[in-house]
Structure formats: structure tokens, C-alpha cells
Structure 1
């Protein structure tokens, strides 16, 4: 792919869309309109080919064999780590490759928090967190006697920063929050928040699942202690992701899972563990998946993440304008800084019914609690519909989606 990096307007987005074979599908006899990229991103041909090429020509385990295939596999796997590190502006030896954000946050919970927290300590979360950034901390709190405190939102669906900072009292040892809400699209000011936490000696963990696919990242500049991402949301294969952690944390944390590759020497009397990040990467990894993720990073980098964000903001503005013409439609979250995610309900229609009927029109949106039960409770609803856009979507798709929404609304009375 040969793309200009100057501006979003200089990119032929129709040409970019053609790189994604699945987007040519028809569903129920209608052209597919895929508005569920917050759930998983679609894959460009280059990613699919990278996975296929590995299995056809290079398949071997990593870091174990000296034969040619083993060397090729190891080199490609470590190249993917380095590509991802550059994408995040971090060091490769501080990047643990894992199955995704859920694993990454559990790694922090069990290897960093569990050995350190004591009764009376506190963890601060926010009302907008995904279950992956709630449940691990609950499990650790139950085992250590720590408590969880929750930062609330304002009427726009933004973090109430005054309330958040009031919670950062001396007993707080960890603050964990999302960079971008998977339900509201709210972009949190994580750099400012991490700075305030750091002043108080509080360690910070950031869920970057919804940020990495849609905006340029400089994790080093954010100033957090841990940053987690998921590969399949950024057009890479499923079962891939990473945890970035400060070197001093990785050095002090015990391994989360034991097995091969994460060791230097094993005796029955004891084991000498490998250096970070490898001491956290036990067993055979998803080698082909990470090579595919490296190809996804190449693809996004060629587009330019500033261009990706600008394109998605154009699409979001169009979507918001079009949805404003739908009677009885309520949007959840109107943050001043927001990603291209819109959660909504239509008066008189259950979210699942609406999504099911839209599917019959070829429109794929998400319905449900979006792994964010506490946020649904905050709004007093059991579920919402969610339309989440990516750079490969089009203005015509938005118009077709809203036309389908009008049609379905009439069917529902």
C-alpha cells in the first residue's frame, strides 16, 4: 500500500476500504454495513497474507530451535514486538506480548497488585470501565482485603475529575482507568490524570483497547506505569495484544504463569527466571497472530494515525448529524473529546430487537451491556445499541444505516 501521510483529505479512502475483503460481503441479501469496530476491527489483506505466509513458509516455534525455520520465526516474532513498541513509543524490552488487554490487566493484578496490597489499601476505578478493568481488581481485593473506590461521571459522560482527584487519598495504591470508553467514546485526559496520580505516589494502569486503533499514541508521554492494548481491535488477529510496563515494575514482579521459555535454568531445587519481558511469556505464543499484528501495525503506520483519527472524526460528525433527525433517539455520552462510538436507544424499542432488525437490513451494530454493567446501571438502562466506526467506513454507509433505522423504527411502531 502506498499512501500519502500529509493529511486525511489526501488519502483515497475508497482505495483503503478495498484492502478489507470482508467488507464486500452481503448479509441477508443486503450489502454489509459493519459498524461494530469497537468489538473487533476488520483485517486488511496484508494482515491475512502475513498469517498465511507464516504457516505456508516459516512455521516453527520461537526461541527454541537453531534451524532456519526456527530462526525465521523468532526474527519475525521479535520484529513484531519492535514494530508495536515503536507504534506506542516505548522500549521493546518493556513490552510483554500476550493475548490482549484482559490478560494484560490480569497480569498487573496478580503479579504487581496481589503481592503488594494489604487490608486498608484502595484501588480506584471509574464508572465507565469495561469488565476486564473491574473484575481482576475485585478478585485481588477479595484476596488482600483492599477496597475499590469508583470515580463518577458528569452529565456529558465525562469523568468528574474533581471527584476522581478527591478519591486519590493516601491509602490508594493503584488507579486503573480506560483511555477511551468502549460505550460512550469518551476520551479521558490520561496524561493529566497520571500526572496527578504520580504526585501522590499512586501507580497507574491504562486500558488502551479503544485508543490504540483510532489515535496516535505516545505511551511514554502519558506517564502511566502500565498500558494495555488488544491487537484484534487494531485490525490484527485475535488472541494478540500487549502490556507495556515500566522496567522497574517488570523487574520486581513475579511471573504470572510458569512454563517453558520464561526461564533461564530449572532445577528441582528452584528456577532462575528469564529477563523481562520474556519471564512473563510462558509457553508457545500465538506466533502467526503476532506476525499478523506486526503487519497491522505496518498498515496503520502507513496510513498515519493522525489521518485515521481525522477520518473517523469526519464520519462521527456525519453520524451525529444524521442521528439527530431520528425521532425518539437518545444518545448516551456527549463528551467534548470523543472517539467514533455512539451508544443509543430508540424510544419504545429494546436494544436487542433494534439490532436484530437492523441486521436484516445488512447493518451490524452491537447491542447489550457492552461488558459495562456499572455504566448501564448509572444510566438506568439494561442495554444500549452501539454504532462504532472505523476509517474504512463511508459516508454512504452512514446514510444507509440511518435510512434502515427509520425503516426499523416504523416496524416497531
Structure 2
């Protein structure tokens, strides 16, 4: 994998921040966009801009073809069995909210259980809290091992005959933990529960086959995988989506509208009310083409190399605490002794290095870690060992600066 050739496709990386060459280590928050994606969106607006599914004119036909072509690209990317199982949404948050609001409200009642983990992003906690309040269902949490992993025996002990929904992240956005989704799904199904997976941190970095995982719902966002913001996907098994009611109503998702009754279009359009995110879907399709041209397996191998190198280098720094398991996805969350992570990130920014600092939309996990906030460096296909070296040098600078201040 030629990383320099890949980097040349990302114009934003060719700049200085605070008079230093930019090192972007915040791809878990949002990835940068290659020229192929930028140009695909630009071409749509310059040449094909029109609404979809409605007009019979040339622009409308071309826009519809591109929009539905992107859906097919997503289907193939996830190895779903049908495009009817691919719903375009605004992102992972909207996708999970759709499942909670539609499937959850219709299928949960007093005494039922929704099982989560302590490592979930707020987007995979709050929707279930709200639907539990409305239905009388109970939330349960699978405990974590000391290294931030999930043990299958704890999954078995937590999921019961009363469990109706299991919702779990594929990859933790804080710990980098890669959860055993296939095995957890099997346990959920043995108890009659459906499996909802937050794939926001997985899809950009590894090959995902929803049929092999056998999960019932899978959600992810385009902006974390070289695509534009504002577009995401909800995969759902056809038989479940057919049973579910839409959560947004209006144009585009209707079949027949009368004065007092209306009927809905078939899948997938009954869940895509209003003018859809056309340019976003086209941009997501271009991002999939870009990632496939490089190879998800190669991307995963590159990130594995970077994380191993970064772990080795970071552990040479006195007073650093690294959170999460040894085997992890392409991110490292850490703190420096006696330095607040926001101060760490500020010093790194002065050195041209962009990292994330805060609770990472995972406050229950922060409480489990006994921290209010952490710093996070996340890697992607355009990062290099030199980026890691700049990170380590910046952290040494932070230690020196705050050592001088406090001592």
C-alpha cells in the first residue's frame, strides 16, 4: 500500500497548522475526504442536480440512477442480500434512533430487556433509554473485563429469555475494542432477541459482512469512511423492515394519500421521507469505490502496523496511561499524568497535531475508567509512522511544558 500516493489524494493534508505540517489523528471523529469524493459531489451539482424518483426528464433520470447506484454499492460493500435492506439516513445516530423508535416501540413492553455494554457511544444508549421509559422495558449492561473487552460468559449471563434487543458497538470509539459481534448475535438469537450493531467505527477500517455476522440491524456513517457528512446507512433484515412503521412521514415515502388514510411505498423508500440526501449518497458511493480500490484488508493491515508502532513509542513516555486492550482497532486513548487532556490536545495542536480530547460521547465508559476525559489519537489509511513520531514528540513537549509550570 503506497501511503504517499494515498495522501496525495487528500488535499486537506497538504497544509500547515500553526506553521507546522498538519498531522491529522482524529479520523474516528471524522475522516478526511479524497479528491474522488469531492469531485463526485461537485459533478452531481454541476451536471446532474435534480430530485430523484419523481421527474421523467433527463437530469432526474441521471440523478436517480446515481442515487440508486450508490445504494447498490452499499449493498455490495456490506454483502447484504438485497438493496431493499439498505436505508439511507443522516448517519449512525439517525439509524439507531429509527430502530429504537420503530422496532423498539412496537416490540417492547413492561418486563422486557434491552441489553447494552458500558462502552457504547451515547447514540447507542440514549435512544434505548427513551424507548425504555415509554414502554416500561428495562436496560441491562454487560460488564467489561479489566482491559475493556467483553467476555462471552458475561454476555451469556446478562442476556435472558426476557431480552428482546441487544445493542452493541462493533468497535469502541474510546478503547478500540473489537467486539465479537457474530458470537454475541448467536447468543441473542438463541434467546429470541434481535441484534443491533453500531458499526460507525468498524466499517471504515475492516471488511464487514452482515450476512456472516447474522445481525438484524447494522448502522454506520459516511463521514468516518472518507464520505461526506450528513449521510449514513441503516441495514436491516428485510423481514424485520417490512414489519416496521416509518418514523418520518411526508413526500417520497408514500404510495397513496387520501384525506384520512395513507399507504407507504415498498422498501427501502418507506423509510426515506422527503427529498433524500442525494449528493451525500453519491459521495458515499464514491468513497466506497475509493476504499475498495485500495482494499479494506490492506487498510486494516496498515492500521494494525501503525497502532503497534504507536503503542511501542507511546509506552516510552513516562507517566502515560493507555486505555483499552492490547488487540485493538486503529485508535489509542490515553492521558498524561498531571496534564488535563484538553491541555494535552492544545499543546499538540500548537505542534500541528490534531487529536480529540473529551469524554468522546461515552460518559458511562469514562465513569468506568474513573476519568472525566481522555485524549485520543485515531489513525487511518493516510497516516504514517512519521505522524506517530510527531505525536510522541508533541506529548514530550506537553510533559516538559506542564512540568515547568507545576514544578
Whether TM-score is above 0.5 comes out as yes
**1:402: which partner in 2?**
392
Aligned position for 2:22: 32
Q: Does 1:370 align with 2:360?
A: yes
Name the CA distance, whole Å, in 2 between partners of 1:355 and 1:242. Answer: 31
Would you say 1:232 and 2:227 are equivalent positions?
no
Matched, 1:296 2:291: no
Change (3 A) 1:323 1:293: same
Q: Per-residue CA shift, 1:67-90, capped at 9, x if unaligned?
A: 000000000000001001100001
Q: Per-residue deviation at 1:187?
A: 0.3
Change (3 A) 1:335 1:142: farther
The superposition leaves residues 164-212 of structure 1 with CA deviations (integer Å, 9 ceiling, x where unpaired) of 2111111110000000000000000100110111111111100000000
1:253 aligns with 2:244: yes
Q: Is residue 77 of structure 2 the alignment partner of residue 87 of structure 1?
A: yes
**1:3-42 to 2 correspondence within 5 Å?**
11-42=1-32
Q: 1:47 aligns with which of 2, 27, 37?
A: 37
SS at match of 1:232: coil
Which residue of the other structure, out of 178, 182, 186, is the alignment partner of 2:173?
Answer: 182
* Match of residue 64 from structure 2: 74
Match of 1:322 in 2: 313
1:58 is matched with: 48
1:162 CA displacement: 1.6
Question: Aligned partners of 1:354 and 1:47: how far apart in 2?
Answer: 33
User: Would you say the 8 A contact 2:347–2:397 is kept in 1?
Assistant: no
Whole-angstrom distance in 2 between the partners of 1:170 and 1:204: 14
Instruction: For 1:378 and 1:324, locate their aligned partners in 2 and report how far apart those are by CA, in whole Å.
Output: 23
Residue 278 of structure 1 corresponds to 269
Q: Deviations over 1:206-260 (max 9, x none)?
A: 0000000000111110011000011000000000110000111111001110011
Q: What CA distance in whole angstroms lies between the structure 1 residues aligned with 2:235 and 2:166?
A: 16
Identify the match of residue 393 of structure 1 among 379, 383, 396.
Answer: 383
Q: Is the 8 A contact 1:158 1:335 kept in 2?
A: no
Runs of 4+ more than 2 Å apart? none
Q: Could you say what secondary structure the match of 2:106 adopts? A: coil
For 1:53-202, what aligned pairs fall within 5 Å after superposition? 53-90=43-80, 91-202=82-193
Q: Give the alignment's TM-score, normalised by structure 1.
A: 0.96
- Please report how far the alpha carbon of residue 400 of structure 1 lies from its aligned counterpart in structure 2 after TM superposition: 1.3
How many angstroms apart in 2 are the aligned matches of 1:239 and 1:410? 40
Q: CA deviation at 1:156?
A: 1.2
Q: Secondary structure of 2:332's match?
A: strand
The CA deviation string for residues 294-336 of structure 1, in whole angstroms up to 9 with x for no partner, is 0000000111100010011011111001101111000010243
Q: Is 2:113–2:162's contact at 8 Å kept on the other side of the alignment?
A: yes
8 Å CA contact 1:179, 1:206 repeated in 2: yes
> Displacement of 1:275 after TM fit?
0.4
Partner of 1:8: none
Quote the offset at 1:269 in angstroms: 2.5
Written as runs of structure 1 = structure 2, the 5 A alignment for 1:214-229 is 214-229=205-220
State the shift of 1:92 in Å. 1.1
Tell me how far 1:105 sits from its aligned partner. 0.3
3-state SS in 2 of match to 1:115: helix
Distance (whole Å) between structure 2 residues aligned to residue 229 and residue 218 of structure 1: 13
The number of residues matched between the two structures is 402
1:157/1:335 contact within 8 Å kept: no
Contact 2:37/2:227, CA 8 A, preserved across alignment? yes
CA distance in structure 1 between the aligned counterparts of 2:395 and 2:83, rounded to whole angstroms = 46
Distance 1:115 1:88 in 2: 27
- SS where residue 158 of structure 1 aligns? coil
| Partner Cα separation in structure 1 for residue 251 and residue 302 of structure 2 | 44
| Structure 2 unmatched ranges of 5 or more | none
Partner Cα distance (2:140, 2:208) in 1: 28
Gaps of 5+ in 1: 1-10
Alpha-carbon distance between aligned partners in 2 of 1:165 and 1:34, rounded to the nearest angstrom: 40
**8 Å contact kept, 2:51–2:63:** yes
